[in-house]
Chain A
Amino acid sequence: MTWLLDAYSDSRTYGSLVYSLLGLPIGIFGFVVVVTGFALGLGLLITLIGIPILVATLLFVQAMAAMERRLAWSLLAASMPRRRSRPTSDGFFWRRLRDLVTGRQTWREAGFLLLRLPLGIVGFTIAAVILGLMFGGFAMPINVALGVESQIGSWTIDTVPESLFYLPISILFLLVGPRILLGWGQVSARIASSFLGVVEPAEMKKSVAETLARAGQADAFAVFDELQLRLGRGPFLTPTKVEATLLAMESSGVVRMNRSGSTITYSLNDGELSERR
């Protein structure tokens, strides 16, 4: 019972309610713009007008994804990296355009915006049904007292005793409703994190290289701690990812592995280090 009622004191329950209710209009808007933009852009590609339309659509995807990231982070406490994963977005216009088109992050964000419509429909339905069931049973006697009839199939509810039929269902949903909302919020947070809260391998390598350039020599624990300070904590930064990044950087010759007994420390190669300095 306490487990059920604890959901009332969890701010994520109310965040989840707002996120679910916002999900339908945002989902429809994002889906319509993305599908129309891609269809129009690809269709008009032969006339060259399609290129700016496609670029505008991708920029829209980026902007919407930034908003979605903030929404999921603030309303659902979804884990998102502090730094945005666009390691090569500086430089000339064409380079930025190439990064926008070829970046995995852009297409993951576009996928999320398309998925947001069905998720938004499910979330909105859950929220609306739960709110209806939670308060409907209490509203029905008031309605009947005010002379408003309610209809359930062929059954017309027009007396106060009849109107009390829904009261136990509302009491039940007052208990379980917030917990269901919180659960749906956690599912939504995981989905948002897996699409939008990803640190690309290139960004990870860049952060590791910066850490090692500053520290000179560090073991994997120190690198991991520094990355947590830079990017934040979450499933996007795990010991396995750090270990794999260090291995990849070692095999590509960027990082040198120094072993002494069972301790392994890492440092940047001389060439890489002088380049950074």
Chain B
Amino acid sequence: MDEFAEMAAREREATRIARRQWFWLHFAVFMTIQVFLVLIWWLSDVTYPWFIFPLFGWGVLIAAHAVYAFVVKTPEEIMIERDQHRSGGRQ
């Protein structure tokens, strides 16, 4: 791997870490607010579980964010990884 490829790899790693940190921050906000909503529900009217609507609505967004943070790769990342596999560490 030449110096530029090393720099690019470091940049990809930094982006990956930042993406994951943003996800965990989002998750912490989500959990705090959901616990707060369940508490309000529990302390007031427990007959109708209205808190499930924000839980599922926001939950879908959290799931999408998790996929983006941990699974999705950009076309450039895929191309570079394929090249590295093809060359078998030639660089």
Contact = CB atoms under 8 A, between A and B. Distances in A.
A74 to B, nearest CB: 26
A32 interface: no
B3 A238 contact: no
B76 A240 contact: yes
Interface residues on A, range: 10 to 19
Nearest to B6: A239
Contact of A244 (B3, B7, B79, B91): B79
Contact of A240 (B2, B11, B91): B11
A243 interface: yes
Chain B interface helix/strand/loop/mixed? helix
Interface stretch (A38-46, A93-101, A145-153, A216-224): A216-224
Contacts, number: 45
A262 interface: yes
Contact of A224 (B2, B4, B83): B4
Contact of A239 (B7, B74, B75, B83): B7
A243 B75 contact: no
A240 B4 contact: no
Interface string B66-91: 00000000111101100100000001
B8 interface: yes
Interface of A: 219-221, 224, 238-244, 247-248, 251, 262-264
